Amino acid sequence: MNADDVKALGKVAVLTGGSSAERQVSLMSGSGVLAALQSQGVDAHAFDPAERELGELKREGYGRVFIALHGRHGEDGTVQGALELLGIPYTGSGVMASAIAMDKVMTKRVWQTENLPTPRWQWLAPGRQSREDLNAVPDAIGLPLIVKPPREGSSIGITKVLGYSQMQDAVALAAKYDADVLCEEFIEGIELTCPVLGQGATARALPVVRIDAPDGNYDFEHKYFSEDTGYRCPSGLPPDEEAEVQRLTLAAYRSLGCRGWGRADLMRRASDGRFFLLEMNTSPGMTGHSLVPMSARAAGIPYEQLCLQLLQHAALDSHRD
């Protein structure tokens, strides 16, 4: 991109921080994106929606927005909807895709309809969390299982449950973050992630990343702060398995109507080598430990170019590229 093209991007806001449980991660992502865009000559500025009204974006003449927010009020369609009303193009998926992908229960419903593989699950609504309801979950999907809030990210509020006696505490923890609780079959095996760039038929999957966390515990600490977590990119999977992960990721991305970019998290089951989709992230991390930049580098796309490319494809639902 030449200097004139960069100038044509106009004044850019990097939305960072926000009010979700992932605020600290968002601040790290936003800091990296801001520095990258500024290094390429973009007139970019940090903008924290937790401290300023979004209406100021219009009043201050911002022409594009790079969304580096994670979690609620950043990744769930709410900010996207506000930007649609303001008429300011933004990076990533639109309102509907963001809202569905943020809700893991809704995501699973879509994937099941599309015959895409995802672990067995049970949804516990607020009125269905009695001791009897909780004991019925392991009966249905087996042990161990995972209990998580369906509308949080970064492994916040997640528990691996090994026995019936742990269900109550696990559900109580998840319910601190979300009134609804998702209980999911635990898949023993290799954890993988695969980013996507683009939209529709032209979307392309980037190289798969394999995650080797200590004792298989890829929690908040191991995601963002620990040096003990290992990442492999290239993944080391046989070429046919790498291609299958990319195929599933693209199908999952398109089924939700995603655009711009995203990242699917998957498991490869040790017992039979089957792949299972866990979730789709529509505003992935861009920190020093983040996986999309790692995969992009393996595909020959430096961090600065990645940020610039994502910004260049900022759009509105009503005026897609």
Residue numbers annotated as active site: 22, 154, 224, 263, 265, 279, 281, 285
Helix H or strand E encompassing 196:
strand 189-197
User: What is the rounded distance in angstroms from the CA atom of residue 96 to the CA atom of residue 98?
Assistant: 5
Q: CA nearest 195: which of 273, 128, 293?
A: 293
Contact indicator for 116, 255 with CB cutoff of 8 Å: yes
Q: CA nearest 298: which of 217, 230, 168, 205?
A: 205
User: What is the rounded distance in angstroms from the CA atom of residue 164 to the CA atom of residue 238?
Assistant: 38
User: What is the rounded distance in angstroms from the CA atom of residue 80 to the CA atom of residue 305?
Assistant: 23
Q: Dihedral (C-alpha) 81, 87, 88, 92: value to the nearest 10 degrees?
A: 40
What is the token pair recorded at 10?
């106009």
User: What is the rounded distance in angstroms from the CA atom of residue 131 to the CA atom of residue 9?
Assistant: 55
- Cβ-based neighbour number of residue 61 at 10 Å: 8
Q: Dihedral (C-alpha) 217, 221, 222, 225: value to the nearest 10 degrees?
A: -170
